[in-house]
Chain A
Amino acid sequence: MSISIGDALPPFVIPSASPDAMKHWAVFLADPNPIHLDVEVVKAKGLGDKRINQGPMNVAFMMNMLMAAFPGCRIEAMDSRFLDNVYEGDHLTASGTVTAVDGNRVSCECKLDVAGRGTVNSGTATLII
């Protein structure tokens, strides 16, 4: 596999952020925060009118994109910035670009975009391929 700086990685698409997944992640994270579970709480807090995805799930989407781009790779390091919320029903696209190649070590920029709203997570990652 030939990898070059500037290569775009195949996008990983989540057609619709799922409230059912948020229920599961509340258990995985042992985090009962109702903004992930109850629309009425989200409204009461003035945060909108849809349930809000747990932030780590958004990082997982970017990881999935990286691992699909380089099958069998291992993530050595990753940094993620949380720029905005993902809401139930959002159409998400994780994408990335190669920024450095050093032997079997590949560095990438990555991001998660919401259709119509722009980038909600951005980050960098180093992979061992």
Chain B
Amino acid sequence: MDELPPAPAVAGTSLDGTKLFTISAEENAALCRSTGVEPAADGSAHPIYYYIATQVAMGKTVAGVCETCEFDVEDGPMMGSSGVRFNAPLMVGESYKVTGEILSLVRKLSRKLGVMDVLTYRLRLHPAAGGDALLETDNVWVLPRKELAA
């Protein structure tokens, strides 16, 4: 097989957000109930807000991240994995901001998917007023490159 063209060089692209994300009591309650549980009584938000808050308040939309990777979001990016390390729980009523960056975009040949790019990006959630990150998350997406199929 001919050598694959390289993936776009996007490592280091900033994903710093410009807007704040506030976890409202109403939305947290609706989210908890949509997953079959009641909201916590101690004011903590559902921990899945690690993903929601960082995705919604990062500096690019999912489609925008894909575009940076020269990938059309309509071609179906797939979640590969998601990891998070919390330094503190997220709280209802608090506002947060996001910093982050693309770590890598690696082109691979998959027996199942053909040519694909594996995107890894890191996001951190900080108090709106600034300070150390309350959490750090690494997400991995698989971007199938149909146009490079043999």
Set B30, B36, B62: member contacting A31, Cβ < 8 A: B62
The number of residue pairs between A and B whose CB atoms lie closer than 8 Å in the complex comes to 81
* C-alpha spacing A20/B48, complex, angstroms: 18
* C-alpha spacing A21/B36, complex, angstroms: 10
Which of B74-82, B99-107, B117-125 is found at the contact surface with chain A? B74-82
B contacts with A: majority SS = mixed
Q: Which of chain B's residues 11-43 have a Cβ closer than 8 Å to chain A?
A: 27, 30-31, 34-37
Given contacts A29-B55, A60-B46, A74-B86, contact A18 B34 (CB under 8 A): yes
Decide yes or no whether A117 CB sits under 8 A from chain B: no
B47–A75 contact, CB under 8 A?
yes
Find the residue from A31, A63, A78, A81 having the highest chain B CB count within 10 A. Answer: A78
Q: How large is the interface on A (under 10, 10 to 19, 20 to 34, 35 or more residues)?
A: 20 to 34
B47–A28 contact, CB under 8 A?
no
Decide yes or no whether B8 CB sits under 8 A from chain A: no
A76–B76 contact, CB under 8 A?
no
Q: Which of chain A's residues 83-119 have a Cβ closer than 8 Å to chain B?
A: none
A76–B86 contact, CB under 8 A?
yes
By a beta-carbon cutoff of 8 Å, the part of chain B in contact with chain A is: 27, 30-31, 34-37, 46-48, 51-52, 55-56, 61-62, 76, 78-86, 89
Can you list 20 residue pairs at the A/B interface with Cβ under 8 Å?
Answer: A14-B36, A18-B34, A21-B34, A24-B34, A28-B31, A28-B52, A30-B56, A31-B55, A47-B76, A55-B79, A56-B51, A56-B52, A57-B34, A57-B48, A60-B35, A64-B35, A75-B47, A79-B82, A79-B83, A82-B82
